[in-house]
Structure 1
Amino acid sequence: MENYKLEPYENKDHRKEQAYVRAKKRVKELKGFYWHAFWYVAVNIFIVFMIVSNGGDLFHFGTYSTALFWGIGLGFHALGVFGKNVLFNKSWEERKIKEYMDNDKEQWK
């Protein structure tokens, strides 16, 4: 009988631990993405600076090709971390629906 009474507490602790593990994983993913973005900006500024300072053309495709292709990779990394609905997520949908409903209310007054 006593084990039966302890089970909800054990479940609660287990759920807390699972939530902690998920949160820690999420923080690690975000940290990885932000470091990736930092190095993207830092390295590409350096590359463009070096090309231009060595007589390269500022408006040549080759000057920005690394930034372009690495940027595509960074974009995929962002999709992996934030998901495909980064901009148009559920809360955005709900805000827009509320906004349109509020606008309709004003028209009928």
Structure 2
Amino acid sequence: MFIRDYNQENEYIKAKKRVDEIKTFYKQLAVYVIINTFISTMKIRRNLLNGESFEEAFFDFGTFAVWIFWGIAIVFQALRLFGTDYFFGKEWERRKIEKFMGEEKDKRNRMLRS
């Protein structure tokens, strides 16, 4: 009985920690979007005031530099948190295989009905 309670409590603590990490990630992602939107807006505004056209101001590398470099860190954090399996793991493979098999079955059914 004690071991089962200990295992359940240990599993709960691990799950709670994972939920907290995911929550923190989404908060950081929101901060990333908000801060970078503000920085980009200020840079574009500054460039426009310096006489650049909107295209020149918008497509200036400095406008996107922070998005890119901070974004790389966000991607690595997401990979650490969700794992590469989330993107191209066994579950992803299974879903894709089922999708393609379903598409092939639909094609065969349509051909048989025609």
TM range (shorter): 0.7 to 0.9
Moved runs in structure 1, 4+ residues, more than 6 A? none
CA contact (8 A) 2:85 2:92 kept: no
CA distance in 2, matches of 1:54, 1:99: 49
Equivalence map 1:35-54=2 (5 Å): 35-54=27-46
CA distance in 1, matches of 2:36, 2:93: 35
Partner of 1:73: 73
Query: Residue type matched to 1:42 in 2?
Result: I
| Number of equivalenced pairs | 101
Give aligned-pair identity as a percent.
39
5+ unaligned residues in a row in structure 2: which ranges?
A: 49-56
Partner of 1:31: 23
TM-score by length of 1: 0.78
TM-score by length of 2: 0.75
Indicate the RMSD between aligned Cα atoms, in angstroms: 2.2
Partner of 2:53: none
Equivalence map 1:1-109=2 (5 Å): 9-56=1-48, 57-101=57-101, 103=104
